[in-house]
Structure 1
């Protein structure tokens, strides 16, 4: 038996399962998006009719609008908070490891747990508003989760709380890799702290910014469990995202082909974010 045969034999079941259960089902979903499938899959082709119908649906337009609001705020706030926390912790503060653990802890929770916890916290009847009323401030009102105009911001708050610690860890690792000689030289020349960060440190964190953006963007596009646990897509359609649309049309409204078309567009959106980053990293490795 050749020496390289045993590792291939051990890895082959995993490779087979990935090929079938990941890439195989992706191809099947793409195929379904071009059929007339409703409650159950059919093999009658419909061309691009499902994509045409999908792009004309008001529910899909609402989902895209909500995604634009959620993703832009989520990515921006999480990156700013993550960078700010990383800079604070990088000041060699006391109990640094304890603070890192505290900020990273939310990432250890599932989005279902996060959504449920924030749902209780933001519920006017049992959460923050109720607690403040019991403390004597009865005029206080915080009903965003019940307001169709503000509910999407509740999803942003919960998502930022979940992932800002992870972004902090990424930026902290980047800060620890900054060339200290350049920083010390700038300080000797009389540069102020904000100038050091703006002109020396932040430019060296470019790869971290890109990595954080890619991770947060793909998480925003595929977000589903957090929304369902927190708002269940409501009030009305105010927190529908493309993932919620896909589930509703595939399993609730029995329009499997339209739901498959929406999932294909989500996959393309994630690919547009992730693939350029992967190719860039592979090129860097190849070029040494």
Structure 2
């Protein structure tokens, strides 16, 4: 199947069904593998250097395994039937995307917020962010939602699309493995300062271009909506994205967040 067709069909399937709970999700399988791998690698005390090397080994193993297993599964299914193989590629490709899921999560915060139900909005926001949401005021709920939408527009939509276009489903799943490793291990805490460093740095690297492309996409959308008479400002989105994007603690997340703030 041509990559362009794969991208379009994966987007359509994601828009139609999203991430149905009855369908085994490869990201959950990757997460389970990371959890078990960490438990096995850290079964005894390690020095900081050993901790880093073990974390690096887990990153290499999970990423390469994700790529290889996706490639082998698709090759085997295609050998059985071309149609089965292509159908599996489209479904797996759609599961690498989170456009519908992101929209649903954002709306789940927006609707109670509009109704004045801050308690419900805080509960829904907690499903999108890792920070504590119990006592957040309305303005911080809005801010947290927009930040999550901006960052995940890159991590969950544009970046997977880029890697799907470059290397098909195997590369897209390898990217999602990197993203999952970072979300589970990439923290500046005593537990993960060394073990999670490789995951965090690799995630920074693979998102370097997609994050900036996401900022450009948000700027373009703001220009288009502004030209249609809606209250969006593409010029401000552009200026603020490149003025403030680099100020974020993350080398990538700041660009789409700043673009959305400016829009």
Is TM (by shorter chain) over 0.5?
A: no
Q: RCO higher in 1 or 2 (8 Å CA, sep ≥ 6)?
A: 1
